[in-house]
Amino acid sequence: MVYIQFSIIIPTFNRSIVLRDCLANIANQQFPLEQIEVIVVDDGSTDDTEKIVTSMPLPFSLRYLKQTNRGPAAARNLAILHAHGEFFLFINDDTLLGRSALARHLQAHLACAPDPVAVLGRFDPIPEFALTPVGFVCANYDFLFQYNHLKHGQRYKYTYFYTCNISIKADLIWRAGLFDEDFKHPAAEDIELGARLAALGCPVFFDNECTAYHDHVISVAQFASIHRMRGAAAIMLFHKHPKLSWLLANQRARLYHIEQELAICQETEIAVMEPLIRKIDETNRKHLNSALPKIKSVASHIAPLMRSIQLFYNWLGYLDNPLCTEVAAMSPKNIAR
């Protein structure tokens, strides 16, 4: 049997075009392709994902699996059951790996041995998005991923266990117990597993030279939706792991007041937020071809507004989860507002 160094695990749902580019990009790796396998798990797509994947002539082993729509956690677990690699590399279907990414992942694991680590690489927005006001904010203000303060070669907490470009020894995933399938959306399911890995003594090691690009242009409306989903997932995370309260200490303290506050202002705030979202998206479209100084200037003006949108939709997400009240009751009553 051929030795498989990396099993690259990719969950996908109705994104055949970006998935095609993701797979084609893997073929350009500066790494022995006979030592990798790629496992795509289709999470119930209704587009042409199966046709695209199964018809691509690729120079590496590719396995296509399909399940009913159960979310990325369940999709990754299905892939893990079929994987043979010594290491698992988790990426998104919109991840474009840098040519040396696999080599960097392996080099980092060897450098850290015998210590167990999860190796996290970069996940930068594609240039055509980064060079827009909204994209510049997402890339430089840590509103989607918190990369900007990470330092090369340092070890970090499980809160950086991002499954967009992260690798880990397969046996550690088995010891930790795989992904928690109660998380049905792409939010917090990776951090939750990271917390269990941390309990096994496995931190996140950051390699700044292990590059990847995020092949996804998002609108502010999508940005709001992402943070609403993350808010709901955060409540589930706290419910499962009450000791992780420090993660969102300030927001968690506010959980005592959030239901009362939003009961009063939710309709009003949504009435304010939705036009604001449309206005920022319109502003972004106007500056798609602007010079970098202008993009930076516009970004500096919209960043505080996007921060408000982020927080508000996080809070709506909290309320979406029926466990919100129970999680709030876990907090000490004397936390200051």
Please say whether the beta carbons of 79 and 173 come within 8 A: no
What pLDDT does 253 receive?
A: 46
pTM above 0.85, yes or no: yes
What pLDDT does 337 receive?
A: 29
CATH topology of domain 6-214: Spore Coat Polysaccharide Biosynthesis Protein SpsA; Chain A (3.90.550)
CA-CA-CA-CA torsion sign (295, 296, 301, 306): positive
Residue 317 pLDDT > 60: yes
What pLDDT does 265 receive?
A: 52
Calpha distance 85→314 (Å, rounded): 37
Buried b (16+ CB within 10 A) or exposed e, 42-56: bbebeeebeebbeee
What pLDDT does 318 receive?
A: 87
Calpha distance 102→107 (Å, rounded): 9
The lowest-confidence range among 32-41, 170-179, 263-272, 309-318 is: 263-272
For the chain, which residues make up each domain, given as ranges?
A: 6-214, 220-330
Q: Which structure tokens are listed for 201?
A: 């003594």
Calpha distance 98→156 (Å, rounded): 22
Residue 290 pLDDT > 70: yes
Q: What is the mean pLDDT of residues 297-311?
A: 93
Find the DSSP H helices in the chain. 16-26, 49-55, 72-82, 101-112, 127-130, 133-140, 170-176, 189-199, 220-240, 249-286, 292-320, 324-330
Residue 246 pLDDT > 60: no
Which residues face 156 on adjacent strands?
204
Percent of the chain whose pLDDT exceeds 70:
90
Nearest alpha carbon to residue 331 among 260, 246, 224, 222 = 246
- The CA-atom distances, in angstroms, between 212 and each of 42, 92, 94, 126, 148 are 22, 11, 10, 9, 15
**Confidence band (pLDDT; 50, 70, 90) for 10?**
very high
> Residue with structure tokens 């936390």?
335
